Amino acid sequence: MKPTELNRLSASQAAVKLQQREISAEQLVRSCLDRIEEREPAVQAWTQVAADSALAQARMLDSGPVRGLLHGLPIGVKDLFDTDGIATSYGSPIYANHVPDSDAAAVALAREAGAIVLGKTVTTEFATFHAGKTHNPHRPGHTPGGSSSGSAAAVADFMVPLAFGTQTAASVIRPAAFCGVVGYKPTYGSIVRAGVKSLSETLDTIGAFGRSVPDVALFVAALTGDKRLADTGNVDGLRIGLCRTHEWPLADPDTQAAFDLARRRLTAAGAVVTEIDLPAHLSTMVQVQTEVMAFDAARSLAHERVRHPAMLSSDLAALLASGMSISVEQHQRNLAGAALGRQLIDSVFDSCDVLFAPSAVGTAPEGILATGNPVFSRMWTLLGVPCVHLPFMTGAHGLPVGMQAVGRIGGDRGLLQAAHWMMEKLSG
C-alpha cells in the first residue's frame, strides 16, 4: 500500500503494521492529514485539527518502543471530551474560547495506550439535538446523525481510523448507521467519564467508531484495560433473536428490508434465528428514557441554563424547560421503571445469545439542521446494554443501512464476538 493510502487501513490492520514497524506512525498521521485537507471542506467533521502536535507525537512514538494496544493510531476526539491544550467547546458558543489544561480520563487512557489525538470532531450542542456543521460523507446535504456527528463522518470518510463518541439517546448507533461505519456503545459505565461534559448521569455512555468490529473492540479493550475484548474470534451455534421492538411501526422500507435480509443471511450461515417479542413493560422505555434524559440535562446544565440562557439554542432551551417540569416523584418512578426493564431484558437473553434490532428509522434524512429520529436506541441506552451497529447494505437512495446487535449487560465480549461473526456473514 502506498503511504498516501494508509488512511484507508482499518484500525486493526494499521495496529498490526505499526507494531511490526511495517509502517510508521508519522506516515499514517500524514496520510490522514492529507485526507482531511482534501475532504474537510465538503464534510466539515472537525472543529480543530491538531496537526503539529499529532506529528510530534508520531515521531516520538516512532523513535521509541511500542507503547500499547493503540500504538501510533490516530484518533478523533468528540468535542465533548476535555483535551489538554486543544480548544473544547462542547458544541456551544458559551465555551468558544475554552481550552482545558487536562485530558478527559478516556483521552488520557487512549494516549497512554499509544493513540495520537488528531483533533476534535464536531458534536451537537452539549450532545443534544441542535446540529453542528457536519455533512454526511456519502451525500452532502444529508445529516450524518448526532450527536457524535463529526466522529462518525470522519471515520466513514477515511480521515481517521478510530474516533470517540458518546451516547445518551442514540448518539453512537444512529450516526454509525447514517454514515455506514461500526459503532459500539459498551455496557453503561464501562469507560470512565471523568472530563466529559455531562448531559445525563443516568444515561451517558462513552463509545467508539471504527470501520470493523475488531477496530472498536481494540479501542475499548485499551480504554477499559480488558484485553479480552480484542479477541473477536468466531463463535459456533449462535442463537440470534430478531427483535423488531415496540417501535417497529416507525421503521421505513429500507430498515424493513435490512431486517429481512439479515434473517435470510444469518439463517443461511447456520445461526439459530428466531423472532423475539419483548415484554409489554418495555414498550414504556422510550418515554421513560426521554423524561430521564430531560430531567438530568436540566440539572447537569444548570450553570448554562441559569447564567447563559440567551446563548442556548431554542431546541436545548425547550429540552431543559421540559426537564424542569418533571417532578422528583415522577423521576423516581421513571428510575424504578428502568430498573424493572433491566431485569426483564436480562431474562430475554435466556433464550438467545444476542438480539438484532433496528438502529434507525431508515437512511440519513436530507438536511443537516436535524440529526434524525433516535427512537430505536433510546430503550437500549436506558437499559444500559451493550450495542454494536453493523452496516451491511445500501438503501433505496444509495445511503447506508444496517442494524444493531444488542447484548446482555456486562456481556460485551460475547457481543463483540457475535457481532464480528454476524458482520462477516451479512457482508458476504
Q: Where are the domains of the chain?
A: 3-230, 239-283+334-427
Average pLDDT over residues 2-27: 96
- pLDDT of 173 over the 80 cut: yes
- pLDDT of 110 over the 80 cut: yes
Helix axes 285-300, 375-383, angle to 10 degrees: 80
Q: Which of 31, 147, 198, 200 is catalytic?
A: 147
- pLDDT of 428 over the 80 cut: no
Active site residue 147: yes
Average pLDDT over residues 378-390: 99
Q: Write down the architecture of domain 239-283+334-427 according to CATH.
A: Alpha-Beta Complex (3.90)
Are 184 and 172 a contacting pair, CB within 8 Å?
yes
Helix axes 51-62, 25-43, angle to 10 degrees: 160
CATH code for the domain defined by 3-230: 3.90.1300.10
Average pLDDT over residues 333-360: 98
Q: Could you identify the residue written with the cell 462513552?
A: 206
pLDDT band at 64 (very low <50, low <70, confident <90, very high): very high
- pLDDT of 167 over the 80 cut: yes
Average pLDDT, the chain: 97
Burial (Cβ within 10 Å: 0-12, 13-18, ≥19) of residue 183: buried
Average pLDDT over residues 152-178: 98
Q: What share of the chain is helix, strand, coil (3-state, %, to 5)?
A: 45, 15, 40
pLDDT score of 396: 82
- pLDDT of 2 over the 90 cut: no
Q: In the chain, what percentage of residues exceed pLDDT 70?
A: 100
- For the record, the C-alpha cell of 398 comes out as 444509495
pLDDT score of 188: 98
pLDDT score of 269: 96
Q: Which of 24, 31, 78, 149 is catalytic?
A: 78
Q: What phi and psi values does residue 185 have, to the nearest 5 degrees?
A: -105, 105
Burial (Cβ within 10 Å: 0-12, 13-18, ≥19) of residue 410: middle
DSSP code for 83: B
Average pLDDT over residues 121-142: 97
Residues 6+ apart with CB under 8 A from 134: 43, 44, 45, 122, 144, 149, 150, 153, 368
Q: In the chain, what percentage of residues exceed pLDDT 90?
A: 98
Q: What phi and psi values does residue 330 have, to the nearest 5 degrees?
A: -65, -40
Residues 272-294 pLDDT 10s: 999 999 999 999 999 999 999 99
pLDDT band at 111 (very low <50, low <70, confident <90, very high): very high
Which SS3 state, helix, strand or coil, does residue 302 take? helix
pLDDT score of 333: 98
Question: Greater confidence, 3 or 225?
Answer: 225
pLDDT band at 261 (very low <50, low <70, confident <90, very high): very high
pLDDT band at 417 (very low <50, low <70, confident <90, very high): very high
pLDDT score of 397: 85
Residues 215-232 pLDDT 10s: 999 999 999 999 999 999
Average pLDDT over residues 40-62: 98
pLDDT band at 3 (very low <50, low <70, confident <90, very high): confident
Domains 3-230 and 239-283+334-427 in one fold: yes
Average pLDDT over residues 28-38: 98
147 preceded by a cis bond (ω within 30 of 0): yes
Q: Which of 12, 24, 92, 171 is catalytic?
A: 171
Q: With a threshold of 0.85, does the pTM exceed it?
A: yes
pLDDT score of 4: 82
